[in-house]
Amino acid sequence: MAWTWRFEKSDGTEVQPAVVPEEFTTQGDAESWIGEVWKELIEGGADQVVLSEDNTKIYGPMNLHADEA
């Protein structure tokens, strides 16, 4: 199993991430990573992310701006 993120603008258009992710072996690893780099992803042009396991969408889009302080 591989957990991956898709990076999008607010309109759903895919964008290249500012920080290149790996393929994660667990959902927790994928979520921990996004928690560490979300600010850099926003700065690079991503507004939201979608989490998938293999080719199955798990959740999203999740707004990266929701936790901005």
Answer positive or negative: Cα dihedral of 52, 55, 21, 60: negative
Write out pLDDT tens, residues 17-67.
999 998 899 999 999 999 999 999 999 999 999 999 998 999 999 999 976
Tokens of residue 40, six digits: 């850099």
**Helix (H) / strand (E) containing 31:** helix 27-43
Choose among 11, 17, 8: nearest CA to 50.
8
pTM: 0.90
